[in-house]
Structure 1
């Protein structure tokens, strides 16, 4: 009889437009300093109803995540939402993942700035009932009353850097250096592909 507990996987959702070292520090902390076995970086697809020029194509952003974490066996890129109806809701993604991976237990990873807005999410009560939420503190944000919920785990020592993907895009569009803000493989791809250059964003 197999009584082994299912592997607990953390889901880190984001547009990763592009992925930067700030994302990776958070993901790696959760994968190595909590009880999570792995962290899956779930790349959010572009909403077809919302044309946003600054958002790179889905496959480009997914590729950047893959090459950024290629040397880390505890991190994984996921395109699970690419094939789901849009707009995608977290509860639907969680349900689909549980159906596809019955041998795994999933938990959400989110910043402290998002926790107070959770009651506005679709079926947030089911999320809180069935899934743990791993929250990393964000400077200047109050966690709200959900911080004491039994399904919420708050981590206040997660190293964080004040880096935004929008700043990186602005630098690339202006031909300014982004060395050290992204990993070396990501830097090389961005430089060779011209992604986020003004001419590419108009395509």
Structure 2
């Protein structure tokens, strides 16, 4: 099975994440895309994150019924902060018959050379890249293990959604309805 791993905080998951993952799942040779909920991204402040189980629950609700999408809590038991190469090594050992690639936004290519063991990620796994507006071309754009995928340009951010919630404004259509209900019922981000 070919699996695309879509790493993120998903704080909260929103329609931009879902459209991107579904577009790639439907328009590539992947069998599934797995949302890998990161307990702590080494490049983000931990204080702004909801608990990882709450973020996992939101992703689970958001993708319910889509057989091409799945959610993984694999990083919850790994040392924190999580580094992509460590997760890839662990997940490959756990699923030796699966083939994994990572999904990243094009903007990540500008600093991909700073990722821990980025050469090994390219050599053993490969990278599927979805477009981000205004991203300059890098040497990675022409790398044989980097494949740019055509997908809609979506400029929706979880920060924007969290700000709307704090201002008690509507987040309708920015997140799936079940996620919106959960956010309001548990008073997330207030």
Q: 1:64 aligns with which of 42, 58, 61?
A: 58
- 1:21 pairs with 2:15: yes
1:53 is displaced (CA, Å) by 3.3
In the superposition, relative to structure 1, how do residues 149 and 51 fare at CA in structure 2: closer, same or farther (>3 Å)?
closer
- 1:139 pairs with 2:133: yes
Report the counterpart of residue 162 of structure 2 in structure 1. 169
Q: Where does the alignment leave 5 or more consecutive residues of structure 1 unmatched?
A: 1-6, 198-203
- CA deviations on 1:162-186 (whole Å, 9 max, x unpaired) are 1110011011111100000000110
Secondary structure of the equivalent of 2:100?
Answer: strand
**Structure 2 Cα separation of the partners of residues 187 and 51 of structure 1:** 24
Report the counterpart of residue 30 of structure 2 in structure 1. 36
**Structure 1 Cα separation of the partners of residues 27 and 122 of structure 2:** 23
Secondary structure of the equivalent of 2:122?
Answer: helix
TM-score (normalizing by structure 1): 0.89
RMSD: 1.5
TM-score (normalizing by structure 2): 0.95
**Structure 2 Cα separation of the partners of residues 47 and 162 of structure 1:** 20
- 1:118 pairs with 2:109: no
1:123 is displaced (CA, Å) by 1.0
**Larger-gyration structure (1/2):** 1
Q: Where does the alignment leave 5 or more consecutive residues of structure 2 unmatched?
A: none
Report the counterpart of residue 171 of structure 2 in structure 1. 178
- Number of equivalenced pairs: 189
**Structure 1 Cα separation of the partners of residues 31 and 53 of structure 2:** 26
Q: 2:189 aligns with which of 167, 180, 196?
A: 196
- CA deviations on 1:8-64 (whole Å, 9 max, x unpaired) are 10000000000000000000011111101000000010379x864321111110100
**Structure 2 Cα separation of the partners of residues 47 and 150 of structure 1:** 27
- 1:54 pairs with 2:48: yes
